[in-house]
Chains A and B, each alone.
Chain A
Amino acid sequence: MTILFLASCAQLHHVQIGEIDNHPKFVQKPFDIKLSEVGVDIQEAGRITKALAGKDSNNEAKKIADIIALFQMGPRTGHPVYTKGYAKNLIQLIYEKCPSGRVTGLASIRETRKYPVVSGEIVKLTGYCLLPKGG
């Protein structure tokens, strides 16, 4: 049970890679930004409750999970999250890492780290900040 709860699966949803500028007059300093939010799968919670609960609660848990599913309809990538806009301030975070704005080799990754019932819904951004050689 402990192993089940501690192990996780990483799932890649989307990846996009931008231009890469290997200009000889600049040094590339790597940076990465990771934004995440906890996702919850009510259906999976219902299934686990059903498995662990007594016979009487079996049907109750399933009914509640089904009713809740009607209130959370729609396309989903990974598990749904309760906070909107957790990846809103990406531009500001990029400029914190690279104030000059000379950014290249950007890779935008949308991934999930799955655990039982909950998951980490992650937006990861890696790139390089071009710094002039010789300071």
Chain B
Amino acid sequence: MKKLFISTLILTLFLSSCASVNSVSLTPIPAERGNKVFTTASKTIFLGFNFDNDFIDQSVEDLKRQCPNGKISGVLTKDENINYFLYFVWKKQITVTGYCQKYAAETTTGKK
């Protein structure tokens, strides 16, 4: 019974996670909100060994791919920590949500 209790406790500690927000920011929100774009980038960190934060750079590229020839506004940037086991292992996650507004295509008529 005691072994079962300890095993359940250890399993719960390993499988559960605790999420917390580090920082959040929001840019001006447009009137047109039909086309939502979303990306998330994360990195798992062991024992605090983290030598760079380059994983964030892909977020901007990913959003640009989702909105070619357009402008992304109403950008919500959420920086969160997800702790897996007593901060021996945790995940740093950046979630970015926004709205894409396509620019009107220009037509060339050749008229003089």
Answer yes or no: A and B touching, Cβ < 8 Å. Answer: yes
Binding site for B on A (CB under 8 A): 14, 16, 75
B70 nearest CB across to chain A (Å): 18
Which residue of chain A is the closest to B21 with respect to CB atoms?
A: A75
| Interface residue B23 (Cβ < 8 Å from any Cβ of A) | yes
Which residue of chain A is the closest to B22 with respect to CB atoms?
A: A14
Main SS of chain B's interface residues?
Answer: strand
Chain B contacts with A in 9-30, Cβ cutoff 8 A: 20, 23, 25
B23 nearest CB across to chain A (Å): 6
Main SS of chain A's interface residues?
Answer: strand
A127 nearest CB across to chain B (Å): 15
B25, A75: Cβ atoms under 8 Å? Answer: no
B20, A75: Cβ atoms under 8 Å? Answer: yes
Cα distance, A14 to B25, chains bound together (Å): 11
Cα distance, A86 to B88, chains bound together (Å): 36
Which residue of chain A is the closest to B25 with respect to CB atoms?
A: A16
Cα distance, A75 to B23, chains bound together (Å): 12
Cα distance, A16 to B24, chains bound together (Å): 10
Q: Give chain B residues whose Cβ lies under 8 Å from the Cβ of A14.
A: 23
Which residue of chain B is the closest to A108 with respect to CB atoms?
A: B25
Cα distance, A75 to B19, chains bound together (Å): 12
Which residue of chain B is the closest to A110 with respect to CB atoms?
A: B23
Which residue of chain A is the closest to B79 with respect to CB atoms?
A: A14
Cα distance, A14 to B24, chains bound together (Å): 10
Q: Give chain B residues whose Cβ lies under 8 Å from the Cβ of A75.
A: 20
Q: Give chain A residues whose Cβ lies under 8 Å from the Cβ of B23.
A: 14
B19 nearest CB across to chain A (Å): 12
Q: Show 3 residue pairs from A and B whose CB-CB distance is below 8 angstroms, ordered by the A residue.
A: A14-B23, A16-B25, A75-B20
Which residue of chain B is the closest to A18 with respect to CB atoms?
A: B27
B24 nearest CB across to chain A (Å): 10
Which residue of chain A is the closest to B20 with respect to CB atoms?
A: A75
Cα distance, A45 to B20, chains bound together (Å): 28
Cα distance, A16 to B23, chains bound together (Å): 10
Cα distance, A22 to B20, chains bound together (Å): 38
Q: Give chain A residues whose Cβ lies under 8 Å from the Cβ of B20.
A: 75
B22 nearest CB across to chain A (Å): 9
